[in-house]
């Protein structure tokens, strides 16, 4: 509790972390309160052909799209998909990557080398390429996007956890815990894991931004959830044939992606400064 | 000697990593719900025709046999035939490679030529207006979706202002094919109007691709220079009365760049991944567009060809970066 309070207080003094937190708060509020905040909450599924491609106005704050739906309202419901994809994909990557990293970091031998080699294979190709291949193979849908992102992102966590676990093995407290007769299970879960939580949290925050960006690229290429889902990347792809006239149609979802990813990146940077002094962005003033 | 040992050890890892990558792509491309053979044969094909085609393409054999066969062919430089164009994939890739390399190299040059000096200035004038502006730029560069940036640039510069072409590599006839790189060919054949046109076509995709790389470089250079500025040898040089520009641009920069060299591998990853989506936005006739259209057409041979190519290049670049790092930093050699 007191540790959490300490982190929060330090974060409060970091301007970029505050901006990041504010952006994420706006995102979460938009997603949760979408039915209340939306000016045209039914436009996700309804068509209004007579209203199509209207410029931003008092009734349609961000204009309308090719179906005559309110862009602002669809954007709010799109935030739900974005959060869903980010949370589940990063959560699944954590669930796969952290245990693998812990086991491979604790045990020395060919099995550990093998596990790390497997994660190297995934890291050897740009994530978006593998994710595109998997998403296309499985077919465009929300669960498949999440699956493709999880399968390609876990090696990042495995790498971080592996390196940190290996580094901790020389520490006195690990040696003494082992000497006291703690089982490997108890040692890694109760003693090693809490000590390497900081880099995992930082990686998870940056991973949220990264995953959301890749998910948008998949949606843009037509590999995301099918229409009429108001997914941001797909909306940008749909808007292209109506450029340059319907500029709001393309600009609004891209801006939403940008602010969301920026929020998680800024928070990640702030967390890194607070939690992991070794990785400071710049030397502190009194250094 | 140690350098040789390191190189050999890394090269030994190269083969299993590549084979592992092949296993992954093979599994992805063959454990599929859609039947590629039926797709290629078309809707009007009779079952007998589909079966004949399946046999012709070798899809009727067991998966392990297909995989071993694929490995053997690959070792001979044969990536198989595209299911759609019916041309060897090696030829397709080779034909499109210059376009991607040209785009990537120009983006790399732009980001290095701007990113390193800006990073140094940002560190020297810490908390100045320039530093704050650059911080916004770097944060934006890592948060922007490159396909959206590309579309916005098209909207502004191609559609509204009409300064650049919308997409493609060149509108008219390409220059005489000497190297495949339009800029270089145009210079070699002294064709300056083609050179200008090619450059105009390059401007938007290169800018789109360079932006995230630029952001990364500014960030790392700034951090590196700040780190070195605190060190004792800089204090000593100051005390000795060396002119500040000499200290900054020669000694500090050389020291700070050691860490930036390592970032080249990362930078290359960003550019390669970015090229896939950026090329798709700008209809750039390179490897990225090929990969995306192959994936969308379920052209599994071509997808595997691309993945192998991308993975191999990525692994080789990282190997070179490791070696360069060892060469530049004497401390690495002693461990």
ipTM metric: 0.88
The predicted pLDDT at position A264 comes to: 94
Closest residue of chain A to B138, computed from CA coordinates: A262
Of A236-240, B42-46, B69-73, B242-246, minimum mean pLDDT range? B42-46
Closest residue of chain B to A214, computed from CA coordinates: B145
A132–chain B Cβ distance below 8 A for any pair = yes
pTM greater than 0.95 (yes/no):
no
List A70's β-bridge partners, or say none.
Answer: A64
CA nearest neighbour of B32 among A137, A22, A166, A282? A137
A244 to B277: CB separation less than 8 angstroms, yes or no: no
> Quick one: average pLDDT of B65-85?
81
CA nearest neighbour of A126 among B119, B104, B92? B104
Closest residue of chain A to B34, computed from CA coordinates: A137
pLDDT band at residue B148, thresholds of 50, 70 and 90? Answer: very high
Q: Report the gap between the CA of B185 and the closest CA in chain A (Å).
A: 30
Chain B residues closer than 8 Å to A217 by CB: 145-147, 277
Closest residue of chain A to B222, computed from CA coordinates: A282
> Quick one: average pLDDT of B287-314?
80
Any alpha helices (H) in chain A, and if so which ranges? 2-13, 15-32, 34-37, 71-106, 110-123, 127-138, 142-168, 172-179, 184-186, 193-195, 197-220, 232-239, 247-275
What is the percent of chain B with per-residue pLDDT over 90, rounded to a whole number?
13
Does residue A144 have a pLDDT over 60?
A: yes
Q: Report the gap between the CA of A186 and the closest CA in chain B (Å).
A: 33
B151 to A240: CB separation less than 8 angstroms, yes or no: yes
The predicted pLDDT at position B333 comes to: 53
B17–chain A Cβ distance below 8 A for any pair = yes
> Quick one: average pLDDT of A241-248?
87
Size of interface A-B (CB pairs under 8 A): 136
B311 to A236: CB separation less than 8 angstroms, yes or no: no
Which A positions 252-281 lie with beta carbon below 8 A of chain B?
253-254, 257-259, 261-262, 265-266, 281
Q: Over the stretch A188-207, which tens digit does the pLDDT of each residue have?
A: 888 888 888 888 998 899 89
Q: Report the gap between the CA of B310 and the closest CA in chain A (Å).
A: 7
> Quick one: average pLDDT of B38-65?
76
B294–chain A Cβ distance below 8 A for any pair = no
> Quick one: average pLDDT of B119-143?
89
Which B positions 36-95 lie with beta carbon below 8 A of chain A?
none
CB of A85 within 8 A of CB of A211? yes
**Residue B289 burial class via C-beta count within 10 angstroms: exposed 0-12, middle 13-18, buried 19 and up:** buried
Chain B residues closer than 8 Å to A127 by CB: 273
Q: What is the mean pLDDT of chain A?
A: 86
Chain B residues closer than 8 Å to A250 by CB: 148, 151-152, 155
Q: What is the mean pLDDT of chain B?
A: 81
Which B positions 192-211 lie with beta carbon below 8 A of chain A?
none
Which B positions 217-236 lie with beta carbon below 8 A of chain A?
222-223, 226-227, 230
Cβ-Cβ contacts under 8 Å for B225 (sequence gap 6 or more)? B119, B120, B123, B124, B252, B253, B256
């Amino acid at each position: 509790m007191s540790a959490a309070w300490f982190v929060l207080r330090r974060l409060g003094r970091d301007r970029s972390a505050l901006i990041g937190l504010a952006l994420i708060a706006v995102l979460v509020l938009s997603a949760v309160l979408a039915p209340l905040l939306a000016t045209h909450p039914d436009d996700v599924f309804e068509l209004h052909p007579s209203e199509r491609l209207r410029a931003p106005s008092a009734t349609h704050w961000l204009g309308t799209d090719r179906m005559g739906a309110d862009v602002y309202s669809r954007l709010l419901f799109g935030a739900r998909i974005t959060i869903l994809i980010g949370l589940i994909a990063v959560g699944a990557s954590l669930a796969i990557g952290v245990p693998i990293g812990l086991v491979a970091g604790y045990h020395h031998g060919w099995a550990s080398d093998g596990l790390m080699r497997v994660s190297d294979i995934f890291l050897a190709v740009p994530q978006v390429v593998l994710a595109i291949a998997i998403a296309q193979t499985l077919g465009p849908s929300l669960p498949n996007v999440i699956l493709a992102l999880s399968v390609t992102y876990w090696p990042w966590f495995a790498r971080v956890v592996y390196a940190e676990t290996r580094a901790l093995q020389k520490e006195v407290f690990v040696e003494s815990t082992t000497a006291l007769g703690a089982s490997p299970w108890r040692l890694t879960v109760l003693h090693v894991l809490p000590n390497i939580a900081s880099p995992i949290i930082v990686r998870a925050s940056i991973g949220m931004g990264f995953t959301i960006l890749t998910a948008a690229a998949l949606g843009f290429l037509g590999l995301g959830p099918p229409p009429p889902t108001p997914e941001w990347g797909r909306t940008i792809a749909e808007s292209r044939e109506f450029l340059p006239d319907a500029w709001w149609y393309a600009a609004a979802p891209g801006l939403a992606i940008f602010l969301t990813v920026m929020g998680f990146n800024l928070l990640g940077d702030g967390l890194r400064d607070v939690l992991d002094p070794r990785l400071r962005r710049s030397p502190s003033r009194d250094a | 000697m140690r350098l040789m040992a390191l190189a050999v050890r890394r090269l030994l890892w190269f083969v299993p990593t590549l084979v592992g990558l092949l296993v992954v792509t093979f599994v992805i491309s063959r454990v599929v719900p859609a039947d590629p053979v039926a797709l290629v044969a078309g809707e009007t094909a009779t079952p007998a025709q589909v079966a004949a085609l399946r046999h012709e393409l070798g899809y009727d054999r067991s998966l392990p046999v297909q995989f071993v066969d694929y490995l053997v062919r690959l070792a001979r430089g044969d990536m198989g035939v595209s299911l759609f164009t019916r041309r060897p994939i090696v030829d397709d890739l080779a034909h499109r490679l210059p376009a991607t390399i040209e785009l990537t190299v120009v983006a790399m040059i732009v980001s290095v030529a701007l990113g390193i000096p800006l990073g140094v200035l940002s560190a020297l004038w810490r908390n100045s207006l320039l530093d704050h502006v650059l911080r916004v730029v770097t944060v934006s560069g890592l948060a922007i979706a490159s396909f959206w940036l590309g579309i916005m640039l098209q909207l502004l510069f191609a559609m509204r202002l009409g300064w650049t072409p919308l997409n493609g590599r060149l509108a008219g006839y390409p220059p005489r094919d000497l190297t495949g790189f339009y800029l270089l060919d145009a210079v070699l054949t002294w064709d300056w109007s083609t050179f200008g046109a090619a450059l105009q076509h390059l401007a938007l995709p290169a800018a789109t691709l360079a932006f995230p790389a630029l952001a990364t470089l500014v960030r790392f250079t700034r951090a590196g220079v700040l780190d070195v500025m605190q060190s004792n040898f800089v204090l000593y040089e100051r005390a000795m009365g060396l002119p500040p520009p000499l200290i900054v641009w020669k000694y500090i920069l050389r020291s700070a760049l050691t860490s930036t060299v390592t970032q080249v591998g990362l930078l290359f990853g960003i550019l390669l991944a970015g090229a896939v989506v950026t090329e798709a936005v700008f209809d750039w006739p390179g490897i990225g567009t090929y990969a995306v259209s192959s994936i969308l057409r379920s052209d599994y041979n071509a997808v595997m060809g691309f993945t192998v190519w991308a993975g191999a290049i990525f692994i080789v670049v990282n190997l070179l970066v490791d070696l360069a790092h060892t060469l530049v930093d004497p401390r690495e050699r002693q461990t």
